[in-house]
């Protein structure tokens, strides 16, 4: 496709991860349309070719695909019912890139269907660094044909795009991913405990393991010899971990799956992150 034939893309949610995703979309040649509750948030797109919109309805009317990168399922539904669906043309696609529950994804898809609009849940993994490097993993739930229609768009900011099934499949994959990372954080904390008891300097050990077969994404994300304000740096990711674990637990209960042991292990891992970071950054 040339830039003249690429679908127009609306983007809402220019936060820590959404902003570099939107920039990647624009720099790949897609006509980018942006709206934000606070107009000042759009200043972050300065220097990137895009069209600013003063209201959600005009963004919807100009877009064939609308990407949402907002905090909660409630935020997504509020956008859909607060003007987005009313402005979208039938056949348009709404994509939720945020982390949520499978049941909420199904509810959003049903709301979209009433308006003749397609819906995909397509949460991403890789954090801001992955978005900036355009190496995110995008986990897609929804109809195959719609996922294929959006795949090239997703590849502007992703190294891996995987279609996992119907509505909600992307969200449940993301919840499993995040829960496993938290469980691995518990493993890291316990190895550091053992190292200290054995008289092994833990910082050097962690740096070595990061380069070896024992490494994991959970370990790679633990800073070592960091000069930043660790307490401030941890505040947002710790809040996100707690929310993700609540979503996982709620989903497992909704599906009548006994995940009590897994949830407890993940909670242990997430809870030990601040202590672990302080230990490795004396």
For 32, list phi and psi in degrees, rounded to 5: -105, 130
Tell me if residue 174 is catalytic.
yes
Structure tokens at 155: 């590849």
Which residues, 6+ apart, have CB-to-CB distance to 212 below 8 Å? Answer: none
DSSP state of 223: -
Separation CA 254–CA 22 (nearest Å): 33
HSE-CB of 214 using CA atoms within 13 angstroms: 10
Cα 162 to Cα 131, 158, 159, 234, 246, distances in angstroms:
16, 10, 10, 30, 25
Q: List the catalytic residue out of 33, 174, 265, 272.
A: 174
Residues with catalytic function: 174
């Amino acid at each position: 496709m040339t830039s003249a034939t690429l679908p127009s893309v609306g983007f809402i949610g220019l936060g820590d991860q959404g902003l570099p995703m939107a920039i990647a979309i624009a720099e790949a040649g897609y006509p980018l349309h942006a709206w934000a509750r606070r107009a000042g948030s759009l200043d972050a797109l300065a220097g990137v070719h895009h069209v600013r919109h003063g209201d959600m309805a005009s963004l919807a009317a100009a877009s064939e695909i609308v990407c949402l990168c907002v905090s909660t399922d409630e935020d997504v539904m509020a956008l859909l019912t607060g003007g987005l669906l009313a402005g979208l043309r039938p056949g348009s696609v709404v994509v939720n890139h945020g982390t949520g529950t499978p049941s909420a994804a199904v509810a959003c898809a049903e709301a979209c269907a009433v308006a003749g609009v397609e819906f995909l849940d397509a949460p991403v993994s890789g954090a801001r660094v992955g978005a900036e490097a355009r190496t995110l993993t995008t986990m897609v739930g929804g109809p195959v044909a719609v996922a294929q229609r959006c795949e090239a768009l997703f590849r502007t900011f992703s190294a891996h795009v995987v279609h996992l099934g119907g509505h909600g499949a992307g969200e449940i994959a993301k919840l499993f991913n995040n829960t496993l990372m938290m469980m691995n954080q518990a493993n890291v904390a316990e190895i550091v405990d053992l190292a200290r008891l054995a008289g092994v300097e833990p910082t050097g050990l962690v740096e070595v393991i990061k380069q070896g077969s024992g490494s994991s994404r959970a370990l790679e994300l633990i800073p070592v010899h960091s000069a930043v304000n660790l307490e401030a740096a941890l505040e947002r990711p710790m809040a996100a971990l707690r929310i993700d674990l609540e979503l996982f637990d709620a989903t497992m209960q909704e599906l009548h799956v006994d995940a009590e042991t897994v949830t407890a292990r993940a909670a242990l891992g997430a809870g030990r992150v601040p202590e672990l970071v302080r230990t490795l950054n004396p």
